[in-house]
Structure 1
Amino acid sequence: MTPTLPPPREPGRYRIGVVCLGNICRSPMADVVLQERLADAGLDDRVEVDSCGTGGWHLGDPMDHRAAATLAAAGYDPSRHRARQYDATWRASYDLLLAMDEQNLADVGGRDGDVDEGRVRLFRDFDPVQPGAEVPDPYYGGPAGFEEVLRMVERTATEIVAQVGQELARP
């Protein structure tokens, strides 16, 4: 069963942070796809999406060229991304933090449901095909890995955007 989103911290607005290791492959791909899907749904004026990495190796760098090429081939614009690093302020600033794998989840403090109202989760907790699975890191592989990540991200983003729309429609 797909989990429900935590409520927004600010009524009528929603902030989503996507986290991976270096912020050059998985989380920026999810960031770009989520932003596009939110725009298509007419929610981009009320929903903010950012991405970051738990490591600082790539700070300020653009997206990995293979991730960018995969997105561009699918009609997305990856050009604005610059790598950022996670810090503890993200946990209190975002309505929902989505980690790409279990290690990323642990690096941002895990799932403290009682403390954070379920605000820290795996990205694929919302995947309609395989909920709770990790998004594999394609960095050391070939183009097929990036294409697989994009498919996971697209279907999961569709579910997240639908739920954000429902959450923002609540009185």
Structure 2
Amino acid sequence: MVVRVLFVCLGNICRSPMAEGMFRAKVDAAGLTNRIRVDSAATGNWNLGNPPHRGTQQVLTKHGIDYSQMRARLIGTDDFGDFDYVIGMDGSNMQDLEALQPADSTVVLKKLMDFAQDETQSDVPDPYYTGNFDETERLVSAGCDGLLRAVREKFDI
């Protein structure tokens, strides 16, 4: 079985591609590349087809993560059937996702920070507006660590 994880933010150029890349790197480091599939998407359509924001590119480059194939895309109702986890970055993303989620969906729909241990912050602030890519990187990394732990426990991998 392949576990499928989708990260979602507003524009799919800052937080969700950062989470996609960092989570994929953690999955690879754990030797689970063939067991966990990762993607990202947007709730808004402003940046469709665009690569990650230069601030996210810098974070991913620092970690040796290739983002060359990443392009912003819009989440659709089919994603709720195609993925096991749909992970939003903040409360606003979650409201949008809950409104889009089909009634018969069995996807795990949570915020990334729900998985972060010892974090008091419940949302990952959008660095497009804050300019603080370092804070976003720290929070995304903590959330991805917790999410990987949760996936490994749930699926015994």
RMSD across aligned positions (CA): 2.0
Give, as a single letter, the amino acid of the residue that structure 1 aligns with 2:109: V
Determine the C-alpha separation between the residues in 2 that align with 1:48 and 1:82: 16
2:4 corresponds to which residue? 15
2:98 corresponds to which residue? 109
What pairs up with 1:89-100 in 2 under 5 angstroms? 89-100=78-89
More off after superposition, 81-90 vs 29-38:
81-90
1:120 corresponds to which residue? 109
Give, as a single letter, the amino acid of the residue that structure 2 aligns with 1:159: G
Where does structure 2 lack aligned partners over 5 or more consecutive residues?
none
Q: How many residues align?
A: 155
Give, as a single letter, the amino acid of the residue that structure 1 aligns with 2:23: L
2:126 corresponds to which residue? 137
Instruction: Give the drift of 1:93.
Output: 1.6
Where does structure 1 lack aligned partners over 5 or more consecutive residues?
1-11
Instruction: Give the drift of 1:156.
Output: 1.4
Q: Secondary structure at the match of 2:33?
A: coil
Distance 1:128 1:115, change over 3 A: farther
Are 2:59 and 1:70 equivalent residues in the alignment? yes
Determine the C-alpha separation between the residues in 1 that align with 2:79 and 2:120: 24
2:138 corresponds to which residue? 151
Percent identity of equivalent pairs:
34
Are 2:71 and 1:82 equivalent residues in the alignment? yes
Distance 1:147 1:101, change over 3 A: same
8 Å contact from structure 2 (residues 81, 107) kept in 1: no
Tell me the alpha carbon deviations over residues 47-90 of structure 1, each in whole angstroms, 9 at most, x when there is no partner.
11110000111111100011111221233222221111011111
**TM-score when normalising by structure 2:** 0.89
Determine the C-alpha separation between the residues in 2 that align with 1:124 and 1:33: 15
